[in-house]
Structure 1
Amino acid sequence: MSKKITKTLVAAGLVLATTALTAVAGPLNDRIAAGEPIRIGFANIPVFGYPDDNGDPKGFANEITLGILNEMGLTDIEAVVTDWGGLIPGLMANRYDIITGGQYILGARCENISFSEPIAQTGDSFLVPAGNPLGLTNYQDILNNPDTMLALYSGANTVGAARQEGLTDAQLMQLPGPTEVLAALRAGRADAAALTSFESFYLAAESDGAFEAQDPSALPDWTLNWVGIGFRDEDVDFRAEFNEAHARYMGSDEMMAAMEQYGYVESNLPGATTTEWACANR
């Protein structure tokens, strides 16, 4: 796949740019017509979206996005890395044009941004110390053990899910990302972490036996979610073009070959679920 990618970092709400981010604001099609790169924003989240050692965008959400953009004939891409909690605010503030970092399509998010049609479906899973000494597999296990602490990402869907299951903020340790979550588990400050199942199984496999991932089916069925690519509402025309290319690329041999390295399999394809349904039901 031929593509030109430049790298930019966004940290703590401040732009640290290798290229100007303020050259052309406004609708994405106008930026493209003006010769500006498409700025894709993502956080450093295992499997979903992360920068490699060269700063290039990796992870299945990034790979699918780049594949769809390539299908559209668009290859001038600028990668922007930020904290998870800064993705939607940064998109709304025009710091980047597209969120590729594996955002679930949730009703609360649909009130602020627009999503492509889904690119994946996946559930969540608890990550716990090896042997799961406290027997924590779901939110009710945390709720029924008031001295336990659950780590999760600030702004993640798991915060809302935990609250819906009855947990209070006193049992929720909201952290910026996986590095901080793993540190909390290793230090014993948290007893479990609520993550996507992709992340839980990846982090467990990379932990040299320190952690294990719990069965995603231990969590309620309603926590199954669909991943989308985020756009500003005003980029409705570009999003429609993106969705047309999405329909051609999704599930193709080219896409599935690129997904092998991330453990994305046929069961992760979004099926017939639409973004309209996800916005209304998640």
Structure 2
Amino acid sequence: MPFFSKRITMAAMALGLVAAAPCATQAQQSSLAGKTITIGIHNRAPWGYRDKNGDVIGYHPDLVRAALAPLGVKAIEFTVADFGALIPGLLANRFDIIASGVAITPARCQQVLFGEPDLSAGDGLLVLKGNPLNLHSYEDIIKNPKVKLGGGRGTENAKNALAAGVPEDRLLLFPNNEAVVSAMLAGRVDAATLSAPSVSGLMEAGGMNGIERALPFKGYVRPDGSEYMMATAVVFAPRDKELQAIYNAQLAKLKADGTVKALMDKYNFTDAEAPPHASSAELCAKN
């Protein structure tokens, strides 16, 4: 059932953003005007999460709000799911968009539609306080047969660890970052691979006694010698090509007027994590 169907309800929580007067005509003409959009997030800073007051914030929710507010969208609702459940939830019609740090990969492109890239991000590593095993790369993990690594189920970072040569029997997968951290503190794993922004978000949130970020850390190095950087984007169901096109047009404006850069600054992304020049179609075509 496509997005522009009677599945979309006409009442929900307030969007919290008011379009400026010059946008009124655009909103009136938009096929999204007056509708409610449901967005899936995995409750992880800085991607998309609930703050201490229960409000949803994060780079991707803020980006989608900025893109859709001028179009007269009446409300945005958020649904929290484990990262590995986001795409299945989208395909099961639980929500209309995923806005939560999903990397563009050829395999995922076979299942869903991606918006144009909005960020780049590499791998990061959590280790025990003081980094007693001196882990600064996947190579360090591979060389020490006693090291067990934790990762998120369905994440590119866990896949990168395997691609780098970490043995599968030494990689334990968990449904979310809280479970990974708990496993570290319980001694089940010695380190955890997450995206670098996710590692930063966890450390900034506090409450991580006994754990620190491994700095420096070299992530997965491709056969051509380049270090892996994932490109993230907002995700749509295959049925929603029109919604994807509308969003992409808005995203291009936000890149041009500095909104994307301002949101990057707000959530502590660096210039090195700026969106790649490649399009989502080009990234989907890569092997």
TM-score (norm 1): 0.83
Structure 2 gap ranges (5+):
11-34
> In the alignment, what sits opposite 1:226?
231
Q: Per-residue deviation at 1:95?
A: 0.6
Matched, 1:281 2:286: yes
> In the alignment, what sits opposite 1:171?
170
The AA in structure 2 aligned to 1:240 is: A
CA pair 142-248 structure 1, distance change in 2 beyond 3 A: same
The answer to whether the 8 Å contact 1:31/1:37 transfers is no
Q: Tell me, what secondary structure is at the counterpart of 1:27?
A: coil
> In the alignment, what sits opposite 2:30?
none
> In the alignment, what sits opposite 1:145?
144
d(CA) in 2 for partners of 1:173, 1:33: 39
CA pair 213-75 structure 1, distance change in 2 beyond 3 A: farther
The answer to whether the 8 Å contact 1:71/1:249 transfers is no
CA pair 254-275 structure 1, distance change in 2 beyond 3 A: closer
Q: Per-residue deviation at 1:280?
A: 2.3
> In the alignment, what sits opposite 1:64?
63
The answer to whether the 8 Å contact 1:32/1:38 transfers is no
> In the alignment, what sits opposite 2:86?
87
The match for 2:252 among 240, 244, 247 is 247
CA pair 63-251 structure 1, distance change in 2 beyond 3 A: farther
d(CA) in 2 for partners of 1:164, 1:192: 17
| 1:69-117: CA deviation from partner (whole Å, max 9, x where unpaired) | 1243324111111111110000000011100111001111111111000
Q: Which has the larger radius of gyration?
A: 2
> In the alignment, what sits opposite 2:269?
264
d(CA) in 1 for partners of 2:54, 2:6: 23
Q: Per-residue deviation at 1:34?
A: 6.3
d(CA) in 1 for partners of 2:116, 2:6: 23
d(CA) in 2 for partners of 1:175, 1:266: 31
d(CA) in 2 for partners of 1:257, 1:117: 18
RMSD of aligned residue pairs (Cα, Å)? 2.1
d(CA) in 2 for partners of 1:251, 1:135: 43
> In the alignment, what sits opposite 2:121?
122
| 1:144-178: CA deviation from partner (whole Å, max 9, x where unpaired) | 22221111100111222122122232111101111
| 1:21-44: CA deviation from partner (whole Å, max 9, x where unpaired) | xxxxx2112358763521100111
> In the alignment, what sits opposite 1:113?
112
The answer to whether the 8 Å contact 2:161/2:220 transfers is no
The AA in structure 1 aligned to 2:214 is: A
Once the two structures are overlaid, the 10-residue window that deviates more, 174-183 or 259-268, is: 259-268
State the number of aligned residues. 257
What are the within-5 Å matches in structure 2 for residues 43-58 of structure 1? 43-58=42-57
Q: Tell me, what secondary structure is at the counterpart of 1:100?
A: strand
Structure 1 gap ranges (5+):
1-25
Q: Per-residue deviation at 1:251?
A: 5.6
Q: Per-residue deviation at 1:273?
A: 1.8
